[in-house]
Amino acid sequence: MSALSLDELLAVFLKDRWLRPETQKTYASRLGIFKSYIGGDVLACEVTRDQVLEWREQSIGNAFEKKISEITWNNYVRHLRAIYKHGIDHGHLPVMKNPFAGVSVSVYKKKKKVLTQGQIKLARECLMLSEKLEQARGKPERIHPAWFWRVVFETFYHTGMRLRQLLYLTPGDVNIRDGYIVASSEGAKNRVEHTIPISTALGPHLKMLMNSARVMGFERGDQLFNVNRFSERHRSEKMNTWQVERFFDLLSEACGCRITPHRFRHTLGTELMREPDRNLHITKALLGHSSVKTTLEYVHTDVEMLRPHLENR
């Protein structure tokens, strides 16, 4: 058995595992961060648990000088532990104990962030104003093209889908006539395809996007939500996560509150569970979760939901 470098250990791991390109990049990134701390010339079998603990102490040991959060640390460890576990299990490493085992830390859990109806209303007003200004002035605004990003906003709000799922949507996944969207397994975190109904409020927005795509000559398998094909400013071949996140950064700045795609998921789960006929399994199906336990993490219980139960004691 030849001694493997850290990069060689990663290469073996990625060769054996069937991972998406984005996931492969994530593993490589996490290993790169560790290499920058420990030194790139260290062999994989030479890494010790004490070294990992020292790295943890340097990263999050001091609350006033920490470089990363506990959640980020656990994310690093989860990826590196998987790489080492694979190496140990398949005989690529002459060690019996995983140096990244048992080094995760407890995380203080905070309430999931949800959007209020006031924030949703304000965001819509900002988008409609941008759209009107673009039409009146005939030139791009900061949020451009405003009509496109309004469709993005409404799609996240009415479906609660993940950012990756939106990026994987094609014209063939949207059925305006029968009123549903097929969220592909490629964009799902659990790799499970699920179908989302198109609400009455969302329908006109998606119909406008589909019509615009048809005029632009989109093929059935093209990326549907691709700002680059509708914009005077964007030039990439495909829309990526950075472009979506940049839009939400601009919208958040304009509204004075943090708005992200994932907060729409928490908001949808919370609002569905506020309904008188709330059904956990329906909420689970709409969010595309594999287990009810995951859905429960998205359901935010606020003070007003609890108040009647105390009043009625």
Q: What is the pLDDT of residues 36-79, one digit of tens each?
A: 999 878 999 999 999 999 999 999 876 556 688 898 999 999 99
- Which of 130-133's residues contact partners 24+ apart within 8 Å by CB, and which partners? none
> Rounded to an integer, what distance in angstroms lies between the CA atom of residue 223 and that of residue 174?
12
Q: What number is the average pLDDT over the span 15-42?
A: 91
State the catalytic residue, choosing from 86, 162, 229, 266: 162
Nearest to 261 by CA among 156, 111, 122, 113: 156
- How much is the pTM? 0.73
121 in active site? no
300 in active site? no
State the catalytic residue, choosing from 189, 191, 214, 278: 189
Residue 274 has a pLDDT of 74
235 in active site? no
265 in active site? yes
Nearest to 111 by CA among 297, 273, 258, 311: 297
Q: What is the pLDDT of residues 98-119, one digit of tens each?
A: 999 999 998 876 666 889 999 9
Residue 258 near residue 113 (C-beta atoms within 8 A) = yes
Residue 159 near residue 271 (C-beta atoms within 8 A) = no
Indicate if the pLDDT at residue 25 is higher than 60.
Answer: yes
Residue 35 near residue 6 (C-beta atoms within 8 A) = yes
137 in active site? no
- How would you write 97-145 as a 3-class SS string? CCCCCCCCCCCCCCCCCCCCHHHHHHHHHHHHHHHHHHHHHCCCCCCCC
Residue 2 has a pLDDT of 65
Contacts of 163 (CB under 8 A, 6+ apart): 241, 244, 261, 262
Residue 291 has a pLDDT of 77
Quick one: CA dihedral 3, 102, 34, 7, positive or negative? Answer: positive
State the catalytic residue, choosing from 66, 262, 274, 300: 262
Out of 29-43, 70-84, 257-271, 273-287, which region has the weakest mean confidence (pLDDT)?
A: 273-287
State the catalytic residue, choosing from 205, 265, 266, 284: 265
Residue 158 has a pLDDT of 94
142 in active site? no
35 band by pLDDT with thresholds 50, 70 and 90? very high
Looking at the chain, the whole-number percentage of residues with pLDDT higher than 70 is 91
Question: From the CA atom positions of the chain, what is the Rg in Å?
Answer: 23
Indicate if the pLDDT at residue 299 is higher than 90.
Answer: no
Q: For residue 175, count CB atoms less than 10 angstroms from its CB and return exposed for 0-12, middle for 13-18, buried for 19 or more.
A: middle
